[in-house]
Structure 1
Amino acid sequence: MTKAEKIALEKYRDKLKFVRSSGAAVNPDEPKDEKKARIDRAKKDVKFMVEYYFPHYATSECADFHVKSAKYTKKHRTGKQFDEWGRGLAKSVWDNVIKPFWLWMNDEAHYHVIVTTSFDRACELADDLKAEWEANPRIINDFGEQKGTGQWESGFYITKSGFICKALGAGQSVRGLRVKDQRPDLITVDDLETKETIANPKRQKKLANWIERDLLPTMDGPIRRFLYANNRFAPMMIQTILQERHPDWKVFHVKAYNPVTYEPTWHQKYPRWYYKEVEQEIGTLAAKAEYNGEPHIEGEIFKEEQIQWGKMPSLNHFKIIIGRWDVAYAGTPTSDFNAVKVWGLHGRNFWNIDNFVKQCKMRSPLEWMADFQMGLPKSVIVHWGFESQFWNDEVRRTIEEVEDDYGISLNLSEIETSGANKYDRIITLQSYYQNGRIYYNDKLKSHNDTAVGLTQLYGIEPGYKTKDDGPDADQSAISECSKYIYRGGKGQKPKVGKYERKRRF
């Protein structure tokens, strides 16, 4: 036996121990009618089925999206489905163990193919349910011994009841998948993406073609279910290629947490502030990509290499400091961001001094502005402004409340918005980036709000559908700062002088 085979065998033995240690007791003298009633209930109620047959997995109550996804799978015999759930939401367990078993109970799955990055990894995934057939006392008690006396290998097994499971590596030949008269009727693609495929769009398209033209056609008959389990952590993935080609395929996109309230989607498992701590540990962008399927966007117009970090001049050395607030009201996971961007003019260069970019209610950015202003040296003034189109009584009331609570005046000015298209306005910043006239405070390199704002900037391109609140505030602040650049000739005075404040109240 090779070293790799020994490691694989040891892993499988651990799986058997895991199944046997579940404490899933059975009553050998149970009346037949009670057993039948339980099985009949489990066939209809997937939540009950999980809790009874898989207590070692059901250490937390099933989430609503688990049940919803499973019901959809069962209802659609030829369904093509993406379980695009965030990290830690049990998509592999559901699509490789729970759903196949539940479908088998209902005579809806007979030949399961599991596909992932490599054959060895696919074998590991296939072994999860194989261990259940072999060692789960409740499955054995209700359905009899399932360990086959014939084909019972890692990566390819057939239970006594006739259920077949085959492991397959991505791109591997699909010839020979037919077993006698049986063809696959359930295919699961699990965690197919790697660093290599993410960096190689040609490879991604090749695998998407392989799924469409080679893998899916191996199914033949009235039942042809296809499950794809992977969180969306990058802008372009094999699953996004397939989704664009097949808009009628079902996508269950599930975020692990609400980015505004931090309420966990699987609240039965994760405590209230779990994901807030995760963001603090790995950063907002990484957390949103891995857990919420909001991948970091690579810029087509504004690029990372254009961002210059440097030691910021002293605040009292800036000619003017402008703060712009892009107002958002709702404070929901799908709402716009409240973005406050503070920029300063030093010589002919623009410096990003600080940032607030969050999906939240209006009070939070105002409190941030108050804290920022109170922390400034007495010789430094920041000129706050927001677009006049956002003005309403609620904005006014919130501003007054925060000013009263902090005992300060923010002197927020209403700014008339340019009639130019927002995209066109933001694009005007590109020349400043190209000419190396925009700098970012190097103390903000690990600042979450700054990173979120930059990600929005990278997403600006023709026809963009990403949020643009941060770049919009950037453009407004930088445009105002640019008015204070001295452009006159020798002996001439600057045309722009004292900054005029305007307030409605």
Structure 2
Amino acid sequence: MPVTPEMYLKFAKDIEPSIFENKTPKIHLDLINFINSEGRYKAAAVFRGAGKTTLLNKIYVISRLFFEKEPFILIASSVEEKALSFLTAIKDGIDNAINKGYALSHGKIWNKDKIEIIINEGKKELEKSCYISVISAGQDPRGAIIKNTRPTLIICDDLESHSGQFGVSSRANRQKLRRWFYADLLPALHPTRGKFIIIGTILHDDSILNNIIHPKPDDENGIEWQTIKFPIIKDGKSAWKSRFEIKKINQIKQTLISQGLDNEFYQEYMCAAIDPSKVLFKYEFFRYFDGIEYDISKPPTTLLVTDSVNSSQIKTRLAKSINLVGEVVDLRRCRVISTIDLASATGADETAIVTSAIDEKNRIFILDIISGHWTPFEKSVEIIKVFLSFNPERIGIEKAGMQNDFFYTIDVIQKATGVVLPVEALTHRGKAKNTRISNLEPYYRTGQIYHNNAQNSTAELEAQLSTFDPEVESKRDDIMDAFAYILEYVAGRNFDYVDSDEFFDECEADEWV
């Protein structure tokens, strides 16, 4: 039977239940799956407070020994004190496992920076010796080699820090650490069966982790990194609800922002590195309204959306006004527009739907932001939900995306539900994506755009805007790309309603299979 992340967690909970104070978040399972998947070089950016060190040292490393009999694990951290504390935590976990009767025992080496663990199989000839060694940044990894064996697993946990010998605030320090990382640490890995993992919180735009997660166009280091990010808010939801409720996240955000540390929030909690010299959308440009009032004088609208395979129940109320400080903006006196950036159900990108209201003063209020990896049916359900909640007069979808997998599905569902959606095609008219997004800047700078302070996904939009570099193609721009299409409507362009036959004429029949 294959070993699963759930087995890792059950094992760890049995030997040290005290580390499971909060309910285990899905991101912990996702992170273990990511590390254990195929590929030699892994990089993960994780939000501050995600419990990654506990996950790695008290769960992953010990489980890797017990289940996989990992021959030699090398752990590197920013400073010696932290590296040694990691090994101390691992030692405690191993001792707990031994006391619980698991087939582990101390080997001949049990020092402050190196240990040997014997994996017992009931017979002396089946015993396996495994090793763990820890080093700090800058230390020669060759000194950690045991019995002429190179590490089969190298873990860099919090390799970068604000302080210490290689503090990230100094450009010279970053260059020294980068030289050690690529010239000394990476080559220390076992040449044929090794796995290398770097995991941490993004602390600087020019950090090693950020340059791996967000490589520049000219970054060529010969290594095929597999990367992943775990921001504290994803798709408008907390990544660890039992530990970080949305209210608590907002408090963290407001505390940092009040101290002029908005960059720290987006970098360390949203995994969005910021180069201050390149910031186009500055935090001081962001203006807010307090939320939306819904019509409670009528029962909520309920609708069952079905196709031949799927079914989903929608229940929603119609939004009626915007709460602005000292002002209530009646949505009946606004143009409400939804703009959509479609993505495939299997790709890395997400589908994003942004609904905005444009009032008589030409102010733009972002009412609602939703995004996710959705099937064509799920996309249809989300769009119908948006339509019933905000009654947009236009639902603009980039034409190329509509042709791929979606328009036929939503056409069928409209006929099945009787809901007629004002869907129309949007085209980029030859403008590059970064140009379209950059064109939002004057509207932000002049205070015409307002974010919904009551919506969780606002933090995701701001993280994308704050890290936007017009000269680099972004890997995560779904929300701001969808929102940028609002300028097509602000400029007063007219669109005709799209007849589905127009799209069938342009596509081969097998495109809909």
Distance 1:252 1:366, change over 3 A: same
Which of 82, 93, 111 is the equivalent residue of 1:121? Answer: 82
Cα distance in 2, alignment partners of residues 84 and 355 from structure 1: 27
Which of 404, 417, 421 is the matching residue for 2:427? 417
Q: What does residue 272 of structure 2 align with?
A: 295
Q: Any idea what the Cα deviations from partners look like across 1:172-205, whole Å, max 9, x if unmatched? A: 46585467x6465354322223356565565444
Aligned to 1:462: 471
Taking the TM superposition and a 5 Å limit, the aligned residue runs for 1:299-318 are 300=278, 302-305=280-283, 307-309=285-287, 312=324, 314-315=328-329
Aligned to 1:26: none
Q: Does 1:394 align with 2:409?
A: yes
Counterparts of 1:408-487 in structure 2, within 5 Å, are: 412=422, 414=424, 417=427, 419-423=429-433, 424-433=435-444, 436-441=445-450, 444-458=452-466, 459=468, 461-483=470-492
- The answer as to whether partners of 1:324 and 1:476 remain within 8 angstroms in 2 is no
Whether the 8 Å contact between 1:322 and 1:343 is mirrored in structure 2 is yes
Which stretch shifts more, 159-168 or 198-207? 159-168
For residues 67-466 of structure 1, the aligned pairs below 5 Å read: 69-70=35-36, 80-82=41-43, 87-88=50-51, 90-93=55-58, 96-100=61-65, 105=69, 108-109=71-72, 112-132=73-93, 134=95, 136-137=97-98, 142=103, 146=106, 148=108, 152-157=110-115, 165-172=132-139, 177=144, 182=148, 185-186=151-152, 187-195=154-162, 203-216=173-186, 225=194, 227-231=196-200, 233=202, 237-241=207-211, 245-249=220-224, 251=226, 253=228, 278=245, 281-282=248-249, 295=272, 300=278, 302-305=280-283, 307-309=285-287, 312=324, 314-315=328-329, 321-326=335-340, 328=342, 334-346=349-361, 350-359=363-372, 360=374, 361-373=379-391, 383-387=393-397, 389=399, 390=402, 392-398=407-413, 404=419, 412=422, 414=424, 417=427, 419-423=429-433, 424-433=435-444, 436-441=445-450, 444-458=452-466, 459=468, 461-466=470-475
Output the CA distance in 2 between the equivalents of 1:101 and 1:413: 56
Number of corresponding residues: 408
| SS of aligned partner of 1:126 | helix
More off after superposition, 190-199 vs 316-325 = 316-325
Using the TM superposition, give the Cα deviation of residue 121 of structure 1 relative to its aligned residue in structure 2, in angstroms: 1.5
Per the alignment, residue 296 of structure 2 pairs with: none
Partner of residue 15, structure 2? 56
Post-superposition offset of 1:473: 4.6
Partner SS state of residue 385, structure 2:
helix
Given that 2:425 and 2:498 are in contact with CA atoms closer than 8 Å, whether structure 1 keeps it comes out as: no
Note the residue ranges of structure 2 that are not aligned, 5 or more in a row: 119-127, 254-264, 290-323, 500-513
Q: Which residue of 2 aligns with 1:20?
A: none
Is this contact kept in 2: 1:413–1:502, CA < 8 A?
no
Q: Distance in 2 between matches of 1:281 and 1:386?
A: 35
Q: Secondary structure at the match of 1:362?
A: helix
* CA spacing shift, 1:227–1:395, aligned 2, 3 Å: same
Decide whether aligned partners of structure 1 residues 239 and 99 sit closer, same or farther in structure 2, where only a CA change above 3 A counts.
Answer: farther
Shift of the alpha carbon at 1:126? 0.9
Which of 279-288 and 464-473 deviates more? 279-288
Question: What's the offset of the Cα at 1:122?
Answer: 1.1
- TM-score, structure 1 as length reference: 0.60
The 2-side partners of 1:168 and 1:135 are apart by 24
Offset of 1:119 from its aligned partner?
1.3
Specify the SS of the correspondent of 1:230: strand
Q: Which runs of 5+ in 1 are unaligned?
A: 1-40, 74-78, 265-269, 374-381, 484-498
Task: Provide closer, same or farther for how the CA distance between residues 284 and 387 of structure 1 changes in structure 2, counting only shifts above 3 A.
Answer: farther
Contact 2:352 2:482 in 1 (8 A): no
Looking at structure 1, the residues matched to 360 and 197 of structure 2 have their Cα atoms a distance apart, in angstroms, of 51
Report the CA distance between 1:134 and its aligned residue.
Answer: 4.7
Q: Take 2:116 and 2:442, find their aligned partners in 1: how far apart are those partners?
A: 64
2:340, 2:354 within 8 Å by CA — same for their partners in 1?
A: yes
Code of the aligned partner of 2:87: A
Judge conservation of contact 1:193–1:237 (CA < 8 Å) in 2.
yes
Check conservation: 2:338, 2:394, Cα contact below 8 A: yes
Closer, same or farther: CA 53–261 of 1 in aligned 2, 3 Å: closer
Q: Tell me, in whole angstroms, the C-alpha distance in 1 between the residues paired with 2:473 and 2:4.
A: 43
3-state SS, counterpart of residue 370 of structure 1? helix
Q: What secondary structure, in the 3-state scheme, does the structure 2 residue paired with 1:462 have?
A: coil
